[in-house]
Structure 1
Amino acid sequence: MAELTVAGLRVVHEVARQGSFSGAATVLGYTQSAVSRQVAATEAAVGTELFERLPRGVRPTAAGEVVVRRAGRVLGEIDGTLEEVAGVRDRFAGRLVVSAFPTAAAVLLPRAIARVRARHPDLRVDLQEAATPLQLRRLRAGRVEVAVVAVGEGLPDQDLDGLRAEPLRIPRGSGVAVGRDHRLADSDVVDVAELAGETWIVGTGAAGEPQFGPWPGLADPHVGHEVRHWATRFGLVAAGLGITLVPGLAADSVPRDVRWLPVRDPAGPPDRSLLAVTAAHPSNAAAALVRAIREDAARMA
């Protein structure tokens, strides 16, 4: 009887991350045929297909999503074990600078930094908050080693040429924040059609650029306020002056007088991704922090 292997789980996990066998082969340093064999062996072990073939690339089946999610946890434990053993043998020391946009800096980075510091107490990790363009400029200038950025729908294109970008999978998608007295506040999930006619509190960046606007696809959404900081947005929502789009990453950070609700949308949530970006050849300390960030992101269900 075929059994699951660490190599097979790693390949399946990477195929899901890259969206193709060829992409996984490039990242892992395998031939495409070797990737295909590992996927086939893993499918034989679980007794079902793990990927649906598309005109361009692949995507996990329902069973594949389960294996990918579990594989991420298993691989995280294995990588963490190897890292911890290496840390005992050769502890990281010195200074590591990481930057992130404010939401990630507040929610995702602290736990990852704490875990890395626990393993490497002689390593000083400095956290900076900055918008994505500034983060990438600092990264290219060598002033930052790890940058956590957001890319995708409604966000400016970013130049990542020559950098290493690690996708961060957050299982929980985007939703909306409503006041406790809002008509939708008692719902467990909101259909996108129920958002029609709502007043939106939208965000702006440091330079006035739009961030987290109305839910995509709504016809003629009404914008009530444009503000920069999340605290102000949540204050306006709590006062009943509108609702606001909140990424799944920030769902646990809403205040008590505001409720976060997932949105059921056939078109899917806003197509955005989080990336942990480093130089093409990151230091061991930077690579360890990226692994910790990736593990914490995967736990946000």
Structure 2
Amino acid sequence: MAELTVAGLRTVFEVARQGSFSGAATVLGYTQSAVSRQVAATEAAAGSELFERLPRGVRPTAAGEVVVRRAGRVLAELDGALEEVAGVRDRFAGSLVASGFPTATAVLLPRAVARTRARHPGLRVALQEAASPVQVRRLRAGQVEVAVVAVGDGLPAPDLDGLRAETLHVPRGSGVAVGRAHRLADRDVLDVEDLVGETWVAGAGPAGEPQFGAWPGLSEPHIGYEARHWATRFGLVAAGLAVTVVPGLAADSVPRDVRWIPVRNPVVPDRALLAVTAGAPSGAASALVRAIREEAAALGAPATP
């Protein structure tokens, strides 16, 4: 008789979350055929089809909804148990290297490192900044244990085969940074129409780093400046020379003379934020991923005016 497995439950859970077998394969670092095998084995164990195949993607059946809901609870308990066991074995002492692309290292990763250090004072965490493909290569070479990477539209697809990848959810969407003297600076939320006629500073950097131009959907926007580093972009914004797109992930990094304002109903590229580790991460790496997950979920409050 077929039995449910942890790998099968994790796969079914991710397929439901991503809405497709291919999306789950990317996040989990599996091939699409491996995802199909895990789903088929779990359906055999459950004695029911778990997904309805659609023209584009899949969605859980009634039985699938039950399995996905229970799988989420089981996986959370298992991950917590692994962290707790690792703590008993005192695997949280020593050092750990983490990395992220520039937007992720602005706020999310420093806060996650601080949270991890508060829980495990004996653990030293070093932080590197690099484009997503570079991070994955360093992870495979053993130079990094935890990497925060971006995947999706307009970005190179890193090779995640054999690695463990967890999708991070940031409740706060993208917005626009304006100078304190800007005509829109006193607004709490903007519509896309409010941004017509603005001069933009766009990101410029190596392939693999998410770049931001003018707000998506604007007709013939004026790109007045390009800059690789956020400090330069914010300097141009503070001087009143331009405005710039800033994802909610990094909204709390704007300086005092700049204001971040969310945009209503944003149209953004289909991208995902992933925390990537080796297939069998250390207890310390799992603890850091947990802190990253918690800090990502906390990035939902509006930026303070």
Q: TM-score range by the shorter chain?
A: 0.7 to 0.9
2:293 corresponds to which residue? Answer: 294
Structure 1 residues without counterparts, runs of 5 or longer: 1-9, 40-52
Alignment of 1:49-60 (within 5 A): 55-58=56-59
Aligned AA for 2:162?
Answer: G
- Using the alignment, how far apart are the partners of 1:36 and 1:181 within structure 2? 63
Work out the number of aligned pairs and report it: 273
- The alpha-carbon distance between structure 1 residues 206 and 89, as it changes in their structure 2 partners (threshold 3 A), is same
SS at 1:124 equivalent = strand
Query: % of aligned pairs identical?
Result: 66
SS at 2:178 equivalent = strand
- The alpha-carbon distance between structure 1 residues 160 and 11, as it changes in their structure 2 partners (threshold 3 A), is closer
Give how far 1:120 is off: 3.0
Give how far 1:19 is off: 2.6
Alignment of 1:68-87 (within 5 A): 82=81, 85-86=84-85
| Alpha-carbon contact 1:200-1:213 (below 8 Å) kept | yes
- The alpha-carbon distance between structure 1 residues 129 and 209, as it changes in their structure 2 partners (threshold 3 A), is closer
- The alpha-carbon distance between structure 1 residues 277 and 260, as it changes in their structure 2 partners (threshold 3 A), is same
- The alpha-carbon distance between structure 1 residues 77 and 155, as it changes in their structure 2 partners (threshold 3 A), is closer
SS at 1:147 equivalent = strand
Alignment of 1:103-182 (within 5 A): 103-182=103-182
- The alpha-carbon distance between structure 1 residues 117 and 199, as it changes in their structure 2 partners (threshold 3 A), is same
2:239 corresponds to which residue? Answer: 239
Give how far 1:209 is off: 7.7
- Using the alignment, how far apart are the partners of 2:47 and 2:107 within structure 1? 37
Does 1:31 pair with 2:42? yes
SS at 1:259 equivalent = strand
Structure 2 residues without counterparts, runs of 5 or longer: 1-9, 29-33, 301-305
- The alpha-carbon distance between structure 1 residues 11 and 254, as it changes in their structure 2 partners (threshold 3 A), is same
- The alpha-carbon distance between structure 1 residues 162 and 85, as it changes in their structure 2 partners (threshold 3 A), is closer
1:4 corresponds to which residue? Answer: none
The range that moved more, 96-105 or 170-179, is 96-105
| Alpha-carbon contact 1:149-1:274 (below 8 Å) kept | yes
SS at 1:237 equivalent = helix
SS at 1:190 equivalent = coil
- Using the alignment, how far apart are the partners of 1:209 and 1:11 within structure 2? 28
- The alpha-carbon distance between structure 1 residues 34 and 239, as it changes in their structure 2 partners (threshold 3 A), is farther
SS at 2:263 equivalent = strand
Write the deviation string for residues 169-205 of structure 1: whole angstroms up to 9, x where unpaired.
1011111111112222122211112222211111111
| Alpha-carbon contact 1:76-1:291 (below 8 Å) kept | no
- The alpha-carbon distance between structure 1 residues 176 and 12, as it changes in their structure 2 partners (threshold 3 A), is farther
Give how far 1:208 is off: 11
Give how far 1:135 is off: 1.1
- Using the alignment, how far apart are the partners of 2:210 and 2:294 within structure 1? 30
The range that moved more, 19-28 or 247-256, is 19-28
Write the deviation string for residues 50-103 of structure 1: whole angstroms up to 9, x where unpaired.
xxx8852239xxxx9xxx9xx99x999967864664355222133221111122
- Using the alignment, how far apart are the partners of 1:162 and 1:87 within structure 2? 22
- Using the alignment, how far apart are the partners of 2:57 and 2:208 within structure 1? 37
Aligned AA for 1:293?
Answer: I
- Using the alignment, how far apart are the partners of 2:152 and 2:168 within structure 1? 13
Aligned AA for 1:222?
Answer: H
| TM-score normalized by the length of structure 2 | 0.74
Aligned AA for 2:89?
Answer: D
Give how far 1:146 is off: 1.1
